[in-house]
């Protein structure tokens, strides 16, 4: 069984890495289905040769049974709503409202801040929905549209929006990525986890991560293009489009907002808890179809199938590792890493937290199906408490959720780069850096001091296990400020070291990522100490292990996603400026 597990795990990892590095040029869903089929066939041959008839019969059912239907159906409900909203003109209504906001005391700056954060406010199950709808509008703020923003400002603006958008699928109550982890955490200690135990940490870290994405891109762009000469390839006839919204757009938006509020709060009303979010969103979508007279053709064009197929393919490929013993082998590997003194439990956890940014796929749901159960079982195996597992899960899930942005396999970040008409990969470094050094540590801190107060219950008595105090609030703010200050310092120093030399830039980036990993390792090691040592190690040892784990994870991220600043157009530009 161990041999079979090793083989299937090798097939899974090698194929994924080969796809990531561009050696296999197929959609990742196709690759995953291929992995599943090969693993099933291998299992059938292995069990047939061993004469294990019962195991052989159960293999297909075991693989199919790993598909968790709730997030899939919730995602489809959310995508259905996104399609209806687009067809009825709901997104046009959002644009019109934003235009009006500019004339209020919020002014342009306040409106831009709200606009950047609209994905986090609407919380759709895939950031691509809102990004596809709003990116053209955002671009029109630039020199080719209304001319409100300069080119550098436009790049910062779109980059921040992209960061916010391609992380907003995590806290979504309708099929959000975090629901997979919330379902796993729900148990004796967190009986109400499904009500959104990971939502608070994700929102908190994504808010700050978005601001740091803007900072990162600002400093780098200003360094590379000091005279605001950044080359956005010209497009003819750029003018700000006139936004026409009829009553259907506003009506659909109101129905969507009411459905979102109902879906968010219904789990807190015991007598109505049996109504699922899927039912609410499908009912609201049907209401929009009837009231706004949306045709089925319009509706279908708005639905994005990629996240749903990615999720199912991910569940299947991960599922094929269970009956073949691949998951046990993976657990053994991480247990082996944890037994290595320099890395230990904390260092291994830091690597696990960053796993999906190391292997960024087009949709984070694919690998979440593998790593969520792995982290849970690994945590239990090395003696972590439920609260500590909750903290690790909070850090992991924000990192996982945001990993689709820097993915070279049709990652969502490419939408933003395409809209900017910048070279592919310009935003990649910033996406990964914010996930690594800012968001994961902040999510752990928020979970540690604030969210446990809402969710953690003693399994025996049902009483809350942790009560947040003003002291905890102060610690949250202090830790967050320290993490933000350190990340800010790293970004500033890194941007000052960037030159026209691509080779040097790459070294600078790897070093910066390494220090970002150190920040993540220290933060996680400190957040995990809930009055008792982590897996029996002292604070000093935990910190060292966290730092080593962080550096390994960070260097792997920098190497795997080929982080760099600049293709030929940027290089020429820098040389021209310096010349």
Partner 1 sequence: MFTFIVFIIAGALTGLITTYALDMKTRKELAQGTRGGVIRAKIRALLGPKKMSGRRGASPGRASHRLAPTKEIWQTKNKKKTSRR
Residues that bind partner 1 (CB under 8 A): 105-114, 116-117, 120-121, 123, 149-150, 152-153, 156-157, 160, 191-192, 195-197, 199-200, 203-204, 207-208, 210-212, 214-215, 217-218, 260-261, 264, 267-270, 273, 446, 450-451, 453-455, 457, 461-464, 468, 472-473, 476-477, 480, 484
Which residue, 107 or 536, is less far from partner 1 as judged by CB? 107
- Residue 464 β-bridge partners: 457
Which residue, 80 or 157, is less far from partner 1 as judged by CB? 157
User: Alpha helix (H) ranges present in 340-364?
Assistant: 344-353, 355-358
Shortest CB 188 distance to partner 1, Å: 9
Shortest CB 140 distance to partner 1, Å: 16
436: its two tokens: 């690594």
Which residue, 105 or 297, is less far from partner 1 as judged by CB? 105
Shortest CB 463 distance to partner 1, Å: 5
Residue 155, CA distances (Å) to 137, 143, 210, 242 in order: 14, 11, 13, 23
The Cα 338–Cα 349 span in angstroms is: 8
User: What DSSP assignment string belongs to 444-477?
Assistant: HHHIIIIIHHHH-B-TTT--BS----HHHHHHHH
Which residue, 32 or 206, is less far from partner 1 as judged by CB? 206
Which residue, 458 or 538, is less far from partner 1 as judged by CB? 458
Instruction: Give the side-chain half-sphere CA count within 13 A for 119.
Output: 29
To 10 degrees, the CA torsion angle through 242, 246, 252, 253? 50
Shortest CB 241 distance to partner 1, Å: 22
472: its two tokens: 């905890």
Which residue, 107 or 336, is less far from partner 1 as judged by CB? 107
Shortest CB 406 distance to partner 1, Å: 19
Shortest CB 228 distance to partner 1, Å: 9
Angle at 240 between CA 235 and CA 242, to 5 degrees: 135
Asked if 90 and 258 touch (Cβ cutoff 8 Å), the reply is no
Asked if 490 and 437 touch (Cβ cutoff 8 Å), the reply is yes
516: its two tokens: 């970002």
Locus of tokens 């969710």: 455
Residue 146, CA distances (Å) to 141, 232, 416 in order: 5, 15, 19
| Three-state DSSP class for residue 362 | coil
Which residue, 268 or 340, is less far from partner 1 as judged by CB? 268
Q: CB within 8 A of 110, min separation 6: which ones?
A: 101
Which residue, 21 or 261, is less far from partner 1 as judged by CB? 261
Shortest CB 200 distance to partner 1, Å: 5
The Cα 68–Cα 122 span in angstroms is: 24
Shortest CB 422 distance to partner 1, Å: 17
Shortest CB 432 distance to partner 1, Å: 18
Which residue, 297 or 462, is less far from partner 1 as judged by CB? 462
Question: Which helix (H) or strand (E) element contains residue 520?
Answer: helix 502-527
Shortest CB 139 distance to partner 1, Å: 15
- Residue 457 β-bridge partners: 464
In degrees and rounded to multiples of 5, residue 243 shows phi and psi of -95, 120
**For the chain, how are helix, strand and coil distributed in percent, rounded to 5?**
70, 0, 25
The Cα 544–Cα 342 span in angstroms is: 8
Which residue, 193 or 318, is less far from partner 1 as judged by CB? 193
Shortest CB 265 distance to partner 1, Å: 8
């Amino acid at each position: 069984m161990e041999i079979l597990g090793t083989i299937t795990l090798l097939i899974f990892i090698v194929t994924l890495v080969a796809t990531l590095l561009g050696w296999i040029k197929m959609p990742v869903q196709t690759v995953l289905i291929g992995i599943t089929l090969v693993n099933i066939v291998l299992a059938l041959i292995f069990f047939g040769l061993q004469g294990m008839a019962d195991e052989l019969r159960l293999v297909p059912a075991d693989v199919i049974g790993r598909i968790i239907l709730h997030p899939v159906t919730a995602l489809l409900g959310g995508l259905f709503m996104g399609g209806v909203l687009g067809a009825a003109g709901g997104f046009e209504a959002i644009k019109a409202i934003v235009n009006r906001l500019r004339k209020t005391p919020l002014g342009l700056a306040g409106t831009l801040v709200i606009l950047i954060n609209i994905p986090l406010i609407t919380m759709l199950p895939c950031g691509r929905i809102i990004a596809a709808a709003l990116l053209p509008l955002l671009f029109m703020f630039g020199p080719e549209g209304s001319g409100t923003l300069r080119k550098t400002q436009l790049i910062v603006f779109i980059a921040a929006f992209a960061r916010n958008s391609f992380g907003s699928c995590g806290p979504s109550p309708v099929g959000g990525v975090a629901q997979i982890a919330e379902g796993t955490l729900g148990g004796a200690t967190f009986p109400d986890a499904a009500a959104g135990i990971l939502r608070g940490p994700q929102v908190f870290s994504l808010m700050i991560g978005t601001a740091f994405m803007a900072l990162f891109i600002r400093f780098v762009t200003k360094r590379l293009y000091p005279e605001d000469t950044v080359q956005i390839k010209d497009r003819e006839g750029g003018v700000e489009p006139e936004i026409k919204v009829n009553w259907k757009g506003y009506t659909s938006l109101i129905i969507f907002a009411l459905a979102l509020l109902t879906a968010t709060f219904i789990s807190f009303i015991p007598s109505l808890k049996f109504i699922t979010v899927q039912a609410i969103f499908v009912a609201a979508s049907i209401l929009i179809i009837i009231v706004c007279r949306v045709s089925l053709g319009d509706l279908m064009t708005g639905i994005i199938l990629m996240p749903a197929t990615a999720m199912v393919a991910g569940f299947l490929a991960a599922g094929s590792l269970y009956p073949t013993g691949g998951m046990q082998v993976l657990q053994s590997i991480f247990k082996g890493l944890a037994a290595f003194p320099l890395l230990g439990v904390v260092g291994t956890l830091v690597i696990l937290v960053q796993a999906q940014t190391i292997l960024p796929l087009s949709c984070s749901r694919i690998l979440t199906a593998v790593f969520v159960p792995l982290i849970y079982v690994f945590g239990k195996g090395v003696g972590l408490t439920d609260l500590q597992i909750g903290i690790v899960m909070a850090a992991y899930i924000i990192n996982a959720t945001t990993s689709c942005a820097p993915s070279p396999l049709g990652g969502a970040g490419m939408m933003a780069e395409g809209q900017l008409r910048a070279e592919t990969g310009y935003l990649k470094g910033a996406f990964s850096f914010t996930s690594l050094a800012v968001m994961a540590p902040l999510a752990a801190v928020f979970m540690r001091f604030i969210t446990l107060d809402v969710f953690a219950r003693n399994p025996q008595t049902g009483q809350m296990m942790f009560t947040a105090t003003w002291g905890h609030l102060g610690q949250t703010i202090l830790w967050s400020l320290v993490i933000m200050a350190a990340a800010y310092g790293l970004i500033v120093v890194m941007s000052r070291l960037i030159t026209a030399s691509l080779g040097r830039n790459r070294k600078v980036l790897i070093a910066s990522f390494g220090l970002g990993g150190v920040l993540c390792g220290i933060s996680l090691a400190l957040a995990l100490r809930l009055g008792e040592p982590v897996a029996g190690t002292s604070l000093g040892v935990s910190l060292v292990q966290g730092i080593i784990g962080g550096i390994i994870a960070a260097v792997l991220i920098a190497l795997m996603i080929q982080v760099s600043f600049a293709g030929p157009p940027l290089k020429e530009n820098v040389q021209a400026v310096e010349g």
